[in-house]
Chains A and B, each alone.
Chain A
Amino acid sequence: MKRLLKEPLLHFFLLGSALFVAYGLISETGRRSAPDEIVVTVGRVEHLAAGFAKTWLRPPSDAELEGLIDEWVRDEIAAREAIALGLDEDDSVIRRRLRQKLEFVSDDIAAQTEPTDADLNAYLQAHPEAFRVGPSFTFSHVYLDPAKRGDDLGRDTADLLAQLKQSGGRGDPSALGDSLLLERSFQSATNSELEKQFGRAFAAKLNELSPGEWQGPVESGYGVHLVLVSERTEPRLPELAEVRDVVRREWVNARRIEANERFYQALLERYTVTIQGPQPGEAKSFAATP
């Protein structure tokens, strides 16, 4: 993998391809011999056939190839006529598309060599909030349905809590309380998982409970629960080895954004941008600042 990434020929192809596209963008008309002549070159025909083969996983028949060529000629004539009429100008679809394509090109050129573990470790340490895991909770709960218990909810909760405490962790709590389409116990559930399964208030409250004994009532989006937290894992910053793929993904993405911003600034330097308005006659002008 690494060898491939370092392969100069691959770089050459990628860069070349990118430049190729860029060139196409800026010299759209340069390759044509005459405005009213269309030459469908051998290369073009091969290209159309290759595109078809990639889509349909077989080469086109003669009739299909003829159709592709006809369609290409039609596109070409329409494109030339539309451009001659100026239909490509001030079209936000076309402008945004061109900008996007240029950004794809610069993405290609920005493509990084593989980061080292040292690069990634530095990134991990610099962005701990993005990679921190936990806390997580392993717990059992017993649910009481307020709709079912009505006015007895408070008393029932207290009774049940006393009963659970007395059993001292022995006995099967799954026979107690009211039914709910949720697991009776959770392994290493994160805050996000708790919020999703029980709602925000429950997750917040669980963070305050000390492990080892039945406690409650803890309110959820469903009603009230009695909870036994058996294990709580404190939040920690994982070792690089545990999260290498994710750190690499974020590192690459950050480098890409950074490189593209510099690319834009380099282009901007070559322009003088004058913004007229908002008041007529009050034009201000500035040189690009990198």
Chain B
Amino acid sequence: MKTTRRRNLVIVALSLALGLGNLSESSAADLPAPNPENNAYFGDVHVHTGWSFDALTNGSKTVPMDAYAWAQGRPITGSGGPEMQIQTPLDFYMVADHAEYMGVFNQMTNPDSPISKSEIAKGVTSPDANVRLQTFAGILRDMSEGKRDPLLSDPALARTVWAEIVKAANANYAPGKFTTFAGFEWTSNPQKRNLHRVVVFRDTAHLPDLVLSALDSDDPETLWKWMDAQRGKGSTLFAIPHNGNASDGLMFDTVKRNGKPIDATYNKARADNEPLYEITQIKGTSETHPDLSPTDEFAGFEQWDYTLSADFERPTHRKGSFVRQALLDGMSQAAGGAGNPFKYGFIGDTDTHNAAASHEEYNFTGKFAFENNAKERLTGIHGAPAGQIQQIQEFSSGGLAGVWAPQNTREAIFDAMQRKETFATSGPMMKVRFFGSFDYGADDVNKADFVKLAYAKGVPMGGDLKPGVGKAPTFLVVALKDPKSGNLDRVQIVKGWLDAAGKQHEKIFDVAWSGDRKLGADGKLPAVGNSVDLKTATYTGKIGSAQLATGWTDPDFKPGERAFYYARVLEIPTPRWNTYDSARLKMPPLTKVPATIQERAWSSPIWYAPGR
């Protein structure tokens, strides 16, 4: 204990010297006791500010401090548009600016730039910051060439954007109330195919001085090696890939960047470094595609079917782009003895490029700053190409990460993410509990202490079913609506499995639904209906349920077959952001994108593998 503290002191001192400063420490007094049954916390770990070059050039005037202020409920600059303010503050948030431009101040270590000590000494000495700045402004262009100062070439003195980002995260961390993380985005786009990853650190006491840029290498294996090197120095971190839908088959490819098939080493590195996948965000949802899941009537949700190329190119490879197929491919890898590289839990995020997450469909402010103008995001900036206008109309409002954690601290939320006790939503704060076991009764879900019982006898989302003998597993699922969003239509369980011959299958089961609908002869549940009035962008609470709960036993279970199960919860149709906008502006509804949306949540999967 003593050594740790002393080391922290040294780190504080070092951090100060580096301009990191103000490490806010958890104060035990403020912290509510941990809840052993876990609370649902909602947040977003994929947020860009004006410190990302593409956010900056698209007009964002925001800085990380703004992002954290916004997530806690304070209004922030609209960068020219209206001020932005969230309606329901979030529990956690992470600025993940692009790593590629975080080393801004490397000129500081430029050993060849001449500068004179005396210039500095005579220039800026006042204790008053305003006087210092005035003096500095005055001498900016009058500085003359001098001799170089070897002290200034010491890399330890380089002030980086990264250090500033960490500082903002620390200044806004309030354990028990609001959690922030230090992190960044590693932005690899080989041939405009999206291989992006967001990297999250568990604490800010063990951070690298510099983070890895994809300019150095676009190969995820290089990122994982770098992450391993950080672990060697005490960091705890993971990476979260996103937007497989924009990767044209590369995200979950079974071939490596060097052209060779993935193998046990690759699979282990991927699984060790990447517990979660960001299944939904502004640039679309990559759960599955209708081409891959022709029997899934709810596939094709917010697809944003583009690569990252500037000319609105459409991807042509479906396999390798969507996570449900990847879960199957991962099990096939495991069945072949190479281990499962794609054992992903799910979260949602936004990937906003304007500090404000925009996941509230009724409070949408766009991905880029110029979209923070309802008319421009609806009909495009004057003179913009039609393809770009369409791409922006197809942007989702973005998703949220739901995390089941005992308390709202960095440690608790990070650890819950690490063990995949997470779910994704397409924006609303719906809560989903999902447990699996061979020892549940279907009625357990109705018991008053069901959560306690569920943990005691089974595993939560993100876990592996413990072996059972001679029976089928039962899953307990409860979904609660967001009180500010639509009622719930149904709960589904998505099952994927490998048969005895190793062939991949998927099937979707409707397991709980609102009203007195009956399953049709084709096994399908009739649609819940649609109460949206497009003119006023309103809907009623007359259809759907506030809560749906059930226990479901797999009717097709075979003990010898690998399988995964995850819950998908659908809301009734509510207005899509464009419908809220057109109603407010009294403009005709858009015709090329849906007017309504069935918001949804996805639990992390629970896996089953036959015992050895």
Contact = CB atoms under 8 A, between A and B. Distances in A.
A187 B164 CA distance: 36
B89 A192 contact: yes
B336 interface: no
A16 B148 CA distance: 11
B55 to A, nearest CB: 10
B112 interface: yes
Nearest to B59: A96
A19 B56 contact: no
Contacts of A44: 111-112
Nearest to A267: B137
A41 B136 contact: no
B467 interface: no
A112 B126 CA distance: 12
A283 B465 CA distance: 76
Interface in A235-290: 245-246, 248-249, 253, 255, 259-260, 262-263, 266-267, 270
Contact of A196 (B88, B136, B172): B88
* Interface magnitude class on chain B: 35 or more
A128 interface: no
A121 interface: no
Nearest to A99: B56
Contact of A23 (B12, B17, B74, B115): B115
Contacts, number: 230
B233 interface: yes
A222 B546 contact: yes
Nearest to A16: B120
Contacts of B120: 12, 15-16, 19
Contacts of B483: 197-199, 202, 220-222
B129 A54 contact: no
B145 A263 contact: no
Given A14-B19, A57-B230, A109-B129, A4 B141 contact: no
A58 B51 CA distance: 28
Interface string B213-238: 00010000000001001101100000
A186 B169 CA distance: 29
A220 B209 CA distance: 48
B107 A20 contact: yes
Interface majority SS (helix, strand, loop, mixed), chain B? mixed
A279 B483 CA distance: 54
Contacts of B141: 26
Contacts of B103: 51
Interface residues of A, number: 85
Interface stretch (B151-159, B316-324, B490-498): B151-159
Nearest to A49: B155
A181 B127 contact: no
A223 B88 CA distance: 20
Interface stretch (B245-253, B277-285, B474-482, B503-511): B474-482
Contact of B124 (A100, A109, A200, A260): A109
Contacts of A22: 136, 140, 143
A202 B484 CA distance: 11
B79 interface: no
A187 B549 CA distance: 26
Contacts of B484: 195, 199-200, 221
Contact of A106 (B136, B226, B545): B136
A85 interface: no
A263 B134 contact: yes
B291 to A, nearest CB: 35
Nearest to A55: B210
B138 interface: yes
B362 to A, nearest CB: 12
A249 B136 contact: no
Interface string B9-46: 00011001101001010000000100000000000000
Given A21-B108, A180-B546, A180-B547, A263 B133 contact: yes
B143 to A, nearest CB: 6
Contact of A47 (B88, B153, B212, B229): B153
Ranked nearest first, the 9 interchain pairs of A and B with the lowest CB-CB distance are A221-B483, A43-B111, A199-B483, A222-B546, A24-B107, A266-B137, A181-B480, A263-B133, A50-B155
20 contacts: A16-B149, A23-B113, A25-B107, A47-B106, A51-B103, A55-B216, A56-B226, A104-B105, A104-B159, A108-B159, A111-B19, A112-B129, A146-B546, A147-B515, A174-B448, A181-B547, A182-B480, A199-B484, A222-B547, A246-B174
Interface of A: 1, 4-5, 10, 12-27, 30-31, 41-44, 46-47, 50-51, 54-58, 92-93, 96-97, 100-101, 104, 106, 108-113, 130, 145-147, 174-175, 179-182, 187, 192, 195-200, 202, 220-223, 245-246, 248-249, 253, 255, 259-260, 262-263, 266-267, 270
